Amino acid sequence: MKAKYIIPAFLIMSFLFVETGCKKIIEDAIDCAAESILLSIDARIDTSNAKLVHFEFINDNTSGDLTLDKQIEWNFGDGKTATSTNNKVDHTYTYAADFPVTANYTLRKGSSSCTGQKEKTVTVY
């Protein structure tokens, strides 16, 4: 008699557990392609040194549900790389040219994360 009630109870509990788990995963899901629209690289040429560029990786997500890891991997397009820990980095170029600068980043939302890359061409005179 008791076995007849155990199986349905087990099935109901299993369904509730799976339903809750799936909902959490969906809530934490990140669409990196869509979210990358909110990310950008700002590059400002220094006013006293035309070869010095101040870079900043910007997250324009105003909802606060996405966080950007502070560690950004930069490639300055001239063979030099750096890692910033506050989304900002300065780089001095040795010659004038157009440089394809890339920043590799990680976005987080709840227990989910995704990695991506943004690119910006910087003209140094």
Looking at residue 61, its pLDDT comes to 83
69: domain CATH number? Answer: 2.60.40.10
The per-residue pLDDT for range 52-100, each reduced to its tens digit, is 999 999 998 877 788 888 899 999 999 999 999 999 999 999 999 999 9
Same-domain check for residues 1 and 48? no
Please, what sign has the CA dihedral across residues 4, 8, 9, 14? Answer: positive
State the residue range of the domain holding 6: 1-30
The helix/strand/coil state of 27 is helix
Q: Count the domains in the chain.
A: 2
Give the pTM. 0.75
Same-domain check for residues 61 and 87? yes
Question: Which run of H or E residues covers position 32?
Answer: helix 32-35
